[in-house]
Structure 1
Amino acid sequence: MTSLPLLSLRIGGVAPLGLHGAPSGIVKLAVASPLVLSEIGLAGDRQGDTVRHGGPEKAVHHYPFDHYAAWRSDFGHHALFAGPGAFGENISTIGLDEETVAIGDVFSLGTAIVEVSQGRQPCWKLNERFGRSDMARQVQSTGRTGWYYRVLTPGIVAPQDRLTLLDRRSPDWTLKRVWRTFYVDPLNRAELAGIAALDRLAEGWRGHAARRLASNRVEDWTRRLDSPQA
C-alpha cells in the first residue's frame, strides 16, 4: 500500500503574472498550519481563471518533485527548480508519477479522501511563470504534467500528513496512457473510445475524447500553449 509523506502543502492568491500581467494563482507558498479541504479546494487557495482552473474536478493539483531533476537536466539552473512550487502545485511528494498513478486512484490526504480525476493540461501561463516561450509545450511533450484530484470526503490537511492509497478503480488507465493517447497517438480510436467511456475521468476529458472520435481530427493547441501576443 503506497503511503508517502507530503513534501510540501501550498496555496496561493491571485496576482499579475509575467510580462502580460495575467491574473493567476500559480504562485503558491508553503503553509505551516492545517487547512480545510472542501470540494472546491484548499482554504485560501485561489485561481485567476476560474473557467479553466480550479473547481470540483481540479480541486487539488499534485506535481511530483521527482520531475525536478529532469527539468534541471534539460534546462540547467533555474531558481524555480530549487524546491517545490514551480508548477503551481498544491501538494508535492517523492515516489509517485504519471507512470504509476491512474485515473480513479483514491487516496487519504489528512482526514480527507481524494480521487485522481485527470492529468494537467498545460497552458501558456507556464511560459510566463518560467520566462520560456516553450515551457507549456515542453510540459505537454514530456508527459511531466502532474495531475488533479476531486474531493470525495472533505477534511483537514496538514503539512506533516501523508498521502495514502486506499483503492484503485481503473488501474489500467494510468495518467501516462491517457497522456499518450491525447498527445502522442491522438487518433487511436480504440484508446479514445476507452477514454470516452472512463467514468472516473473528468467529464471534460471524456467529452474531449468523444469529440475527436466524432471528427477524426486533432484540435489546434496553439491558443492554449502559446502566450498571447503583446
Structure 2
Amino acid sequence: MKIISTNIGARKEVTFKNKTFFTGIYKSPVEGSIFLNSKAVKGDEISDKKYHGGILQAVYAYSLEHYAFWKEKYPNVNFNFGMFGENLTVKDLDERNIHTGDTFKVGETILEATIQRDPCYKLGARFNDMKIVKQFWNTTFCGVYFKVLQTGNVKVGDEFIQIKSCTENPTIADLYLTKKIKKGF
C-alpha cells in the first residue's frame, strides 16, 4: 500500500435538499506532507465531531482502486482525490485484507486500523445524489479509519509497512458488512 494523495479540507456550508449544514467532506489534494495528530489531521476541518475524528477515527484512508468503480457509476461527476472525504488516497488498500488492530509504519507515523467508515447524507451532498449512500453501503468500499499511535508527517509516495498483524480480529470489510446488516441495507 502506498499514499497516492494527501487531502485536507476546510469547513464548508452546504445546502442540499433544502437543508443547510456544515461539512468537512470537501477535501482536495495538497502539496507536501501533512501532519497526523492523535485526534485529527492538522489543518483538516472536522465539522461533526460526534461521528468523525477523535482517537479511533483520526485519519481516514480510501482506496485508489475504488475510484474506477465510482467513476463508472457517476461519469458526470468531476472527481478529485479526497472526493470521499479521505485524508489519504492509498494504492492497494483493501478492506477485506486489513484487520482491526493491524499496525503500519507510514512516513514518520505509526497507524493502527480501527473501524470502517459508514456513509451518511453528506456523501450524498458531495455527489449531489443520495443514491450513492445506499450504493456505498452495498459494497465493501468503505475505507479505513486509523488511530495514530505515533504522530508525524506523511506524504505522497510513503508506503504502509505492516509492523503488526491481527488476523484473529475481524477485517474492516467484516465490520462494515455486520453494520450494514444491522442497518437493514
Please tell me the residue identity of whatever aligns with 1:50.
Answer: K
For normalisation by structure 2, the TM-score amounts to: 0.90
1:167 Cα offset (Å): 1.1
Higher strand share: 2
Q: Which residue of 2 aligns with 1:22?
A: 21
Offset of residue 21 of structure 1:
3.2
Aligned residues: 183
Per the alignment, residue 155 of structure 2 pairs with 158
Deviations 1:168-215, CA, capped at 9 Å, x for gaps: 12455112222222224x4xxxxxxxxxxxxxxxxxxxxxxxxxxxxx
SS in 2 for 1:79: coil
Any conservation in 1 of the 2:2–2:92 contact (CA below 8 Å)? Answer: no
Q: Closer, same or farther in 2 for the Cα pair 1:130/1:18, shift >3 Å?
A: farther
User: Letter of the aligned partner of 2:63 in structure 1?
Assistant: P
RMSD: 1.9
Aligned counterparts of 1:6 and 1:152: Cα–Cα separation in 2: 18
More helix, by proportion: 1
Equivalent positions of 1:99-178 (< 5 A) are: 99-178=96-175
Instruction: Find the residue that maps to 2:162 and give its secondary structure.
Output: strand
Structure 1 stretches lacking a partner, 5+ long = 187-218, 222-230
Task: Judge which range, 124-133 or 134-143, deviates more.
Answer: 134-143
Secondary structure of 1:63's partner? strand
User: Which residue identity does 1:135 align to in structure 2?
Assistant: I
Map of 2:91 onto structure 1: 94
Aligned AA for 1:165? Q
5+ residue gaps, structure 2, are none
Q: 1:212 matched to which residue of 2? A: none
Match of 1:11 in 2: 8
Seq. identity, %: 29
The CA deviation at 1:135 is 1.5
Q: Is the 8 A contact 2:104 2:160 kept in 1?
A: yes
- Conserved? CA contact 1:17–1:129, under 8 Å: no
Normalised TM-score (structure 1): 0.73
Distance 1:101 1:46 in 2: 26
- With over 3 angstroms needed to count, the CA separation of the structure-2 counterparts of 1:38 and 1:142, relative to structure 1, is same
Q: Which has the higher contact order (CA 8 A, sep 6+)?
A: 2
Structure (1 or 2) with the larger CA radius of gyration: 1
